[in-house]
Amino acid sequence: MSIRQFQASRMHAPRNFHVINNETICVEIGAGKGKHALLFCGENPDKKLFAIERTREKSDAMHKQHQIEGQANLTTINADAIPWVVHALYPKQVEQFFILYPNPEPHNRAQRWLNMPFFEFLLSRLQEKGQITLASNIPEYIEEAEQQLQTVWNLPYQKQVIAADSARTHFEIKYLQRGELCQQLIIEKPENYQTRFDDFMPLNGENCQSKTSESTHEQ
């Protein structure tokens, strides 16, 4: 599959965008109601996680539960992940990305994460030896991602079957209870891996006249 270059400079910032510090962080894309984000931050108090969810209802639920539990190392964001990443993240800043059970886009495969030009930009934000965890209950989605890793992105990875008692997300619980096969790819960025965005600095809110309705939660 031929993938064109991502047009990062054209991205408008999410509404109510806030600049973040250039420090090592983890990022979860499509965090839903925040089950994994809250668990991860509780189990890893030394790591900072930014959990991004585009859907307002789910983001509000995550934000509310975070207020109850109070993990100091979690920041919840209500925004589209792509413009947020372009405006917020620095090159080689992220230790780990989590993309757990993304929309499989059955009618538009070009919108799957590893098929998008944006994936190259995402790799530029990942530290060397950093990892991307991609989980799905759809075997064809995982198989296609493997093919893209081998033929387009040239990245090493491990393919794992997710344990039947795993409970990281509400979707994961539902799929495993139904007896579905859940798998994940642990993708690693090698040393000296290069992208065309390695010197691209975050836009930090420039071009903020966004037409979207997302808002941002910061704690």
Query: Over the stretch 47-92, which tens digit does the pLDDT of each residue have?
Result: 999 999 999 999 999 999 999 999 999 999 999 999 999 999 999 9
Residues of the chain with pLDDT > 90: what percent?
A: 91
Q: Are 112 and 157 in contact (CB under 8 A)?
A: no
Query: Over the stretch 2-25, which tens digit does the pLDDT of each residue have?
Result: 678 999 999 999 998 999 999 999
**Where do the structural domains in the chain lie, given as residue ranges?**
21-189
Please tell me what DSSP assigns to residue 29: E
Measure the CA–CA gap between 84 and 68, rounded to whole angstroms.
25
Q: State pTM to two decimals.
A: 0.92
Measure the CA–CA gap between 57 and 75, rounded to whole angstroms.
17
pLDDT band at residue 208 using 50, 70 and 90 as cut-offs: very low
pLDDT at residue 210 in the model: 37
Residue 67: count other Cβ atoms within 10 Å of its Cβ.
Answer: 11
How, if at all, do strands 183-188 and 157-161 pair? antiparallel
Query: Looking at domain 21-189, what is its CATH homologous superfamily?
Result: Vaccinia Virus protein VP39 (3.40.50.150)
Measure the CA–CA gap between 179 and 71, rounded to whole angstroms.
32
Mean pLDDT of the chain: 93
